Amino acid sequence: MASAPSAEVLSKLTPVLTKRWLSPEAWKIDVYEQLDGYAALRKAVEYHPDEIIAFMKESGHRGRGGAGFPVGMKWAFIPQNDGKPHYLVVNADEGEPGTCKDLPLMMNDPHSLIEGIIIACYAVRAERAYVYVRGEAVHAARRLRNAVEEARAKGYLGRNVLGRGFDLDVVIHSGAGAYICGEETALLDSLEGFRGQPRLRPPFPATHGLYASPTVINNVGSIASVPHIVLGGADWWKSLGSENAAGTMIYSLSGRVKNPGQYECGMGITLNELLELAGGMADGHNLRFWTPGGSSTPMLTAEHADVPLDFDSIAKAGSILGTTAMMIFSDQDCPVYASYRWIVFYAHESCGKCTPCREGNYWMTRVYRRILSGRGTHEDLDTLLDACDNLLGRSFCGLGDGATSCVTSSLKYFKQDYLDYIEGRRKPLLNAADLVGAH
Amino acid sequence: MAYSEELREQARQIMARYPEGRQRSALLPMLHLVQSHDGYVTPEGIALCAEMIGITKAQVAAVSTFYTMYKREPTGDFLVSVCTNTMCDVMGGQRVYDTLKEYLGVDHDETTADGKITLEHAECLAACDYAPVMTVNYEFYDRVTPDSALGTVEALQ
Ligand SMILES: NC(=O)C1=CN([C@@H]2O[C@H](COP(=O)(O)OP(=O)(O)OC[C@H]3O[C@@H](n4cnc5c(N)ncnc54)[C@H](O)[C@@H]3O)[C@@H](O)[C@H]2O)C=CC1
Ligand SMILES: Cc1cc2nc3c(=O)[nH]c(=O)nc-3n(C[C@H](O)[C@H](O)[C@H](O)COP(=O)(O)O)c2cc1C
Ligand code: SF4
Ligand code: FES
């Protein structure tokens, strides 16, 4: 049933990063400037770079790319006075299934990202920044390039930024369709003109990043938040979120809801509240399973709809906050099939560097196909869990770890669904010869 | 395929975006450039990138084959990509794909006989709130249905 959200829940909508999305043409620099644009930069350059880093630490701001690493701490890792060039790389490769917050941000408010980049570069003393945009997002790259040109024309970029004696150049760099290039070290290899395969960490990019120089890599949302935090203050940012999770977050709702889209709220809102904001479940659908942060985060069930959506609470509930990509599935959707389709994705996107991931995902797609075509055995369930054991913690990068999430969580909550296929109570979804979605 | 001085100049401009001695960083954008000129990554395009950056053709080819967006065969005038990752699939993307596949008579990564349309499955395109999603030459179409997708494709023909 569609119903208007209650006043109490409506008041939880907290547009900060999304505030300008509704203003017409806010992507133009003149409009942006009228809406407080570049005021944070003018304020920031009044302080010493070290003070900006300390301020970001104090704000409790954490990375929005999925792992939630403290932003100020990452900036503080950059060695100063080391004689090496420093770089800022913005991760705009957004590829995690379910995740769809960075592209609309770059389309609607590109200058907030550019302004955040300038402040971040000022703080860590970087003279060059790259934005690595996923290749398919041609529209977003175009809009960012345009924003860079506008900012350059106004003296926010280029030589002697705002007459403050520092230079900054921002380059928009398009990828070419590889999910793994969102992993920060694979991204660096790709940006250096190689196949995008992860590097061993440590050393972390903070000391050995782009061209083996100190490099900050942050997600689009992490950096676009910076001007808001600088203007509003550390205490304000903390007050918007919950303990250990400062600020607002863009929650992306997709799937079986009335009004899918981006809902920005303070950290710690619950799925039930978000569903209310989104007009409820779609007609004829009842919530059955969902992801809190994209396909790499273990799925949860209707029982978890009141868990606060912040890092610690979601971890306690057995999942990961990730990219706050809430994919909502109903009683008409099959968790076995959903997991299968994600594993097809991971198998396709595995870079092939390490055996557990390259082989494990390949075998899991076969096992899923067998189960979904009605020829599965009880042993297959053990095979899946075995494969996950070999992946989790044994893969070279987070892609392999992430792949296990849907398998183990769907087996934990929905084993009966698997058994129904295996024991013939459920009509096969796949034709044995069918290679649905495989490529 | 001969490349104009203009295209070479564009390539030089791309290379100039990267620090001195780091011109290899220009490889992905340059591959996009030669692909947009030739329709796919041709041996000539590979040779041009190799020559300008100063690496071997084998090194360029090894990179180009890693990335999904670089095509190894001639592509149609229109590249139609249908997202069939889980969310789009559940919301009807697989049906959209199957409908187009039947109508065009081509499957994943194949091009119609008249050279007009190449069809492909895509993985999540970061627009899941608009699922199911389709792109034509990377222009996004939101909440497509089998019918609306057919209409779009017919209009291309
Ligand atoms: N946004 C998207 O499209 C996607 C996001 N993800 C997310 O990515 C996450 C995994 O990413 P990872 O980078 O592997 O996470 P991670 O936890 O290993 O690292 C997070 C960040 O902290 C930095 N860091 C951690 N320890 C450090 C240290 N001791 N010194 C210096 N820097 C340090 C890393 O360099 C990195 O920038 C997952 O939680 C997943 O949710 C995964 C896939 C796609
Ligand atoms: C397979 C894989 C893909 C990733 N893709 C992205 C991505 O598209 N965007 C992103 O910001 N982070 C992505 N990450 C996380 C990055 O490695 C890194 O943690 C993040 O960019 C750091 O930024 P933050 O601290 O601002 O969150 C990915 C991680 C893995 C393991
Ligand atoms: S886990 Fe997968 S994606 Fe990561 S390095 Fe290994 S093969 Fe590559
Ligand atoms: S699943 Fe299709 S756009 Fe994300």
Instruction: Dump pLDDT digits (tens) for A369-420.
Output: 999 999 999 999 999 999 999 999 999 999 999 999 999 999 999 999 999 9
Chain B residues within an 8 Å CB radius of A176? 28, 31-32, 67-70
Count structural domains, chain A. Answer: 3
Both A131 and A81 in one domain: the answer is yes
Question: Does A2 map to a domain?
Answer: no
Round to whole Å and give the CA distance between B5 and A314. 57
Domain assignment of residue A12, yes or no: no
The pTM score is 0.97
Do the chains contact at B130 and A260, CB–CB below 8 Å?
yes
Q: Compute how many other C-beta atoms are within 10 angstroms of the C-beta atom of residue A161.
A: 21
Enter the tokens of residue A128. Answer: 């060059």
B129 touches chain A (CB under 8 A): yes
Amino acid B2: pLDDT: 84
Q: What is the CATH number of the domain that holds A34?
A: 3.40.50.11540
- 8 A C-beta contact, residue A212 and residue A203: no
**pLDDT tens readout for residues A132-151:** 999 999 999 999 999 999 99
Interchain CB contact of A329 with B (< 8 Å): yes
Residue of chain B minimizing CA distance to A172: B17
From the list B28, B121, B126, the residue facing A193 with the nearest CB is: B28
Identity of the amino acid at B98? D
| Residue A344 predicted with pLDDT over 90 | yes
- In the prediction, which pLDDT does A2 show? 55
Cis peptide preceding A203, ω within 30 of 0:
yes
A124/A159 same-domain check: yes
Residue A436 reports pLDDT greater than 50 = no
Task: Quote the pLDDT of residue A432.
Answer: 63
Tokens read off for B60: 């360029």
Which residue range is the domain that position A355 belongs to?
335-435
How many CB atoms are closer than 10 A to CB A362? 15
Average confidence score pLDDT of chain A: 96
Which ligand gives the minimal distance to the CA of A183?
Answer: 2
How many A-B residue pairs are in contact by the CB < 8 A criterion? Answer: 141
Instruction: Tell me how far apart the alpha carbons of residues A196 and A179 are, in angstroms, rounded to a whole number.
Output: 9
Q: Same structural domain for residues A220 and A170?
A: yes
Q: How many CB atoms lie within 10 A of CB A138?
A: 17
The pLDDT, as a whole number, for residue B1 is: 61
Does residue A94 belong to any structural domain of this protein? yes
User: Averaged over A171-183, what is the pLDDT?
Assistant: 98
Mean pLDDT value across residues B43-59: 98
* CATH number of the domain encompassing residue A275: 3.10.20.600
Q: ipTM of this predicted complex?
A: 0.98
Tens digits of residue pLDDT in B95-140: 999 999 999 999 999 999 999 999 999 999 999 999 999 999 999 9
Q: Provide mean pLDDT across the span A59-66.
A: 98
- Same-domain pairing of A188 and A322: no
- What pLDDT does A39 receive? 98
Tell whether A230 and A255 lie within a shared domain.
no
Supply the pLDDT for residue A84: 97
Average of per-residue pLDDT across A33-40? 98
A46 and A119 in a common domain: yes
Hey, how many other C-beta atoms are within 10 angstroms of the C-beta on A185?
23
Show Cβ contacts of residue B155 under 8 Å, excluding neighbours closer than 6 positions: none
Å from CA of A174 to ligand 4 middle: 19
Chain B residue at shortest CA distance from A323? B126
Q: What percent of chain A has pLDDT over 70?
A: 98
- Which among A168, A170, A209 has a CA at the least distance from the CA of A192? A209
Instruction: Give distance in angstroms: CA of B49 to centre of ligand 4.
Output: 33
Q: Is position A6 within any domain?
A: no
Domain membership flag for residue A8: no
